[in-house]
Amino acid sequence: MSGEAGALEARATQKRQLSLVIALCSVIFLVESVGGLISGSLALLSDAGHMLTDLLALVLSLMAVRFASLPATPEKTYGYHRLEILTALVNGTLLIVISAGLLYKAFRRFFEPLPIESRLMTGVALVGLLANLAALRVLSQEHKSLNIRGARMHILGDALSSVGVVLAGLIIGATGWLRIDPVVAGLIAVIIVAGAVKLVREAVDVLLEAAPDGIGLDDVSAAIGTVPGVVEVHDLHIWSITTGLLALSGHVRVDDRRRVECDAMLNRIKQTVLDRFGIVHTTIQIESCVYQELGDVH
């Protein structure tokens, strides 16, 4: 299967997964909202508000996948692939903001605990946890897309939040210790922040066109240099158009005696970087040994 065909199939899978997860999260939001109102549990209402924010993020992720499937245009020559990365950046930033709010609320709640109906709180949180686990199961097969990883992190945050609410409800019911609720909430927020920071950093690397993790310029240059007739490799750049879609450009200086074989040599270079590093999009400029460069060369 070609790189483009594989990307199209991956996006179709992402659409199905996100649509199902959005439906599950909508049910969780309704159940927790009603349960929070009936029980008077601020923790459940806060969790429902968290879920509503995640629902908006998931809808944004689905829209990004749909736009990424649109073909390239004369103005947008790479198409809309980068929308997935921008969405991952927004999702990661949103997670950090949400976690900061949770930490602030947990700090205040620790010193000003409120009464909670622990049984209803625990039961509703269990329903939310089961639905979140089902949503994580749906997205578990997608590991490469930053957009999907951002969506999974939102669901994981909700699942952790549900676990915390369940544990807090059980402890409150057994001991009456209300401060366990903000303690658990604070721990959950710290875990979410750690993952969100990593997600934002990876999204920024793609937007800055940094070399993908695990691929070194020296290694790629050395691999191209093994092709018979290649004398030198320079002005080499490797970046990600989006996650899983790598691109390369570079200049290759060839032995003048092999210039008649340039087409075959170019194909060997392309096949080498595809086989060794999975790079699909390549732009190679073939030069003679006496060619004089104009402009900046890296």
Rounded Cα gap, residues 219 and 240, in angstroms = 17
Q: What angle do CA 51, 56, 62 make, to 5 degrees?
A: 120
- Kindly list the strands in the beta sheet with 230-242, ordered across the sheet, starting from the edge strand earlier in the chain: 230-242, 245-254, 281-287
Rounded Cα gap, residues 254 and 201, in angstroms = 38
pLDDT digits (tens, 9 = 90+) for 260-281: 677 788 888 889 988 888 887 7
pLDDT digits (tens, 9 = 90+) for 70-127: 777 888 877 887 877 888 788 788 878 887 887 888 788 788 877 777 888 888 889 8
Lowest mean pLDDT segment, chosen from 159-163, 185-189, 293-297:
293-297
Rounded Cα gap, residues 256 and 229, in angstroms = 8
pLDDT digits (tens, 9 = 90+) for 133-184: 888 888 765 556 666 777 787 788 788 878 878 888 888 888 888 888 778 7
Cβ pair 186, 179 in contact under 8 A: no
Q: pTM score, two decimals?
A: 0.68
pLDDT digits (tens, 9 = 90+) for 205-254: 888 888 888 888 899 999 988 888 888 888 888 988 877 678 888 888 88
Across all residues in the chain, what is the average pLDDT?
80
At residue 2, the pLDDT reads 47
- For 12-23, letters b (16+ CB in 10 Å) and e give eebeebbeebbe
Please report the domains of the chain, with CATH numbers, ordered by start residue: 3-207 (1.20.1510.10), 217-287 (3.30.70.1350)
Cα 122 to chain centroid distance, Å, stands at 31
Cβ pair 195, 153 in contact under 8 A: yes
At residue 4, the pLDDT reads 54
Tokens of 225: 């240099």
